[in-house]
Copies of this chain bind each other. A is one copy, B any other.
Amino acid sequence: MIVEMKKGATREEIDAVVEKAKSQGLDVQLNLGTDKTVVALLGSNTGQLPTDIFAVLPGVESVTRIMKPYKLASREFKPSGSKVSCSGVEIGGERIIVIAGPCAVESEEQLTEAAVAVKKAGASILRGGAFKPRTSPFSFQGLQKVGLELLAKAREKTGMPVVTEVVEPKDVELVASYSDMLQIGSRNMQNYSLLTDAGRSHRPVVLKRGFSCTITEWLTAADYLLAEGNSVVLCERGIRTFEDSIRFSMDISSIPVLKRFSHLPVIVDPSHAAGHYSLVPAIAKAAVAAGADGLLIEVHPNPKEALVDGLQSLSPSDFTRLMEELKTIAKSVGRYI
């Protein structure tokens, strides 16, 4: 952590910074420039210290953090990449894992049809929403417990593990009792109560990126889950920008950035970013080429009749065609689906 003093800061002001640092167990090195004094604070936990405790002192111009604020999620903490097992399906290995299924579980028939189709096309894990956080209070809110039961049934029929979103701390236990993996949605990435409770569950967690959160904030949120001993898969799903031709801008660069700074597996959700089925294939292909460890794709047996997000859902035949293309691209980057 670097404390830049104001031009003309007094000896007393500099001393106060040094003292504060020492009280936090930090080593201090004074760099006396011609114009200004710069104080370097050294220690293994400077990433976790708030910069405010120095910035608030008189004579301080700025405080710059050099160490990252996250720890357990960092590549430095664990130089080799992590693999996460979802009931036997390994995410983060050579195989690229495709998770597919409908946005919302609507009925046994709809879910079964989707499950059978995506399995046949090569998906490894079934997704489906039982609890739906909706922007309008007047919209369909999901089948909830019934939805979870239908997911469990679909797992029995197809043998695929299932993943579903949990939106409230009080539901963690219930959802974990049905689902092989928990999903924490974009709007809950910084819902710390939910993170802590999901961290304590016995199910691995897919942590979606908050649509306006930086990668640093995302990895810091992952620390919440990792601190409880759980394992985490990161899911990039697009960020909010000024561009209005698409629902969210897919931040494809986050894949190499995460691979550089973190050991966690990274999957990509092209459906929520695109908002339109016609844009999903290009984004999915880009993600595989850029090094993603998996994809999360919405597939509905009949998108025109979907209760939620039909426009971004692929039909089974479109999904099957896309999977063939993705297999070729996976091969071209030394992996397989």
Q: Which residues of A contact B (CB under 8 A)?
A: 2, 4, 7, 27, 29, 31-35, 38, 40, 42-44, 48, 50-53, 55-57, 62, 64, 66, 69, 76, 133-139, 167-170, 187-188, 190-193, 195-196, 211-212, 214-217, 220-221, 223-224, 227, 238-246, 249-257, 259-261, 273-274, 276-279, 281-283, 285-291, 303-304, 306, 309-312, 325, 328-329, 331-333
Given contacts A33-B43, A137-B196, contact A253 B250 (CB under 8 A): yes
In contact, A256 and B279 (Cβ under 8 angstroms): yes
Chain B contacts for A310, CB-based, 8 A: 52-53, 56
User: Complex: how many Å from CA A329 to CA B330?
Assistant: 9
User: Complex: how many Å from CA A286 to CA B134?
Assistant: 32
Given contacts A240-B212, A283-B252, A291-B282, contact A135 B190 (CB under 8 A): yes
In contact, B255 and A249 (Cβ under 8 angstroms): no
In contact, B285 and A333 (Cβ under 8 angstroms): yes
Chain B contacts for A192, CB-based, 8 A: 133-134, 137, 167
User: Complex: how many Å from CA A35 to CA B87?
Assistant: 37
Among candidates B216, B250, B303, residue contacting A252 with C-beta atoms closer than 8 Å: B250
Chain B, Cβ-Cβ closest to A4: B66
In contact, A303 and B64 (Cβ under 8 angstroms): no
Chain B contacts for A311, CB-based, 8 A: 51-52, 55-56
Chain B, Cβ-Cβ closest to A188: B191
A25 CB to closest chain B CB (Å) equals 12
User: Complex: how many Å from CA A287 to CA B57?
Assistant: 28
Chain B, Cβ-Cβ closest to A274: B253
User: Complex: how many Å from CA A328 to CA B217?
Assistant: 35
The 6 closest A-B pairs by CB, nearest first: A212-B212, A289-B289, A256-B282, A286-B286, A286-B290, A52-B311
Chain B contacts for A223, CB-based, 8 A: 136-137
In contact, B167 and A193 (Cβ under 8 angstroms): yes
Among candidates B42, B57, B306, residue contacting A304 with C-beta atoms closer than 8 Å: B57
With most chain B CB atoms within 10 A of its CB, the pick from A35, A43, A245 is: A245
In contact, B274 and A285 (Cβ under 8 angstroms): no
Chain B contacts for A169, CB-based, 8 A: 168-170
Among candidates B190, B211, B256, B281, residue contacting A187 with C-beta atoms closer than 8 Å: B190
Given contacts A187-B190, A285-B290, contact A33 B38 (CB under 8 A): no
